[in-house]
């Protein structure tokens, strides 16, 4: 499992788009928040948390958090190991 953090919302968008996560209607909240970050990067006073977790070449999940709001997770192929890795990174 590999966790990747992103600083650039546009780059993060393209990664999720390439993996097909943004076409799933279940991920509309993540897409909406991400689009807002791209359109108005000054809306936040803190750095957003943008992460993906891959199991080899397969996207396991994507996570986005814009404090003080809670984390939003798009799970493509979730596993307990992926969620454990995410939780460890968030500590």
Q: Are 49 and 64 in contact (CB under 8 A)?
A: yes
Helix 9-18 × helix 28-39 angle, to 10°? 150
What would the pLDDT profile of 2-61 be if each residue is shown by its tens digit?
999 999 999 999 999 999 888 888 899 999 999 999 999 888 888 899 999 999 889 999
For CA atoms 16, 63, 82, 24, the dihedral sign is negative
More confident residue, 44 or 88: 88
pLDDT recorded at residue 41: 84
pTM, two decimal places: 0.92
Tell me: pLDDT of 73 over 90.
yes
Distance CA 64, CA 71 (A): 6
How many Å apart are CA 66 and CA 26, to the nearest integer?
19
Q: Torsion-angle region of residue 61: left (phi > 0), alpha (psi -120 to 50) or beta?
A: beta
pLDDT confidence tier of residue 1, bands split at 50, 70 and 90 = very high
Query: HEC profile for 58-81?
Result: EEEEEEEECCCCCCEEEECCCCHH
């Amino acid at each position: 499992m590999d966790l990747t953090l992103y600083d650039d919302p546009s780059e993060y968008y393209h990664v999720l788009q390439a993996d097909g996560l943004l076409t799933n209607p279940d991920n509309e909240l993540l897409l909406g928040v991400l689009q807002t970050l791209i359109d108005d990067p000054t809306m936040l006073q803190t750095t957003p948390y943008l992460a993906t977790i891959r199991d080899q070449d397969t996207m396991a999940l994507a996570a986005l958090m814009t404090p003080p709001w809670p984390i939003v997770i798009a799970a493509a192929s979730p596993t307990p190991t992926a969620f454990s890795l995410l939780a460890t990174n968030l500590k």
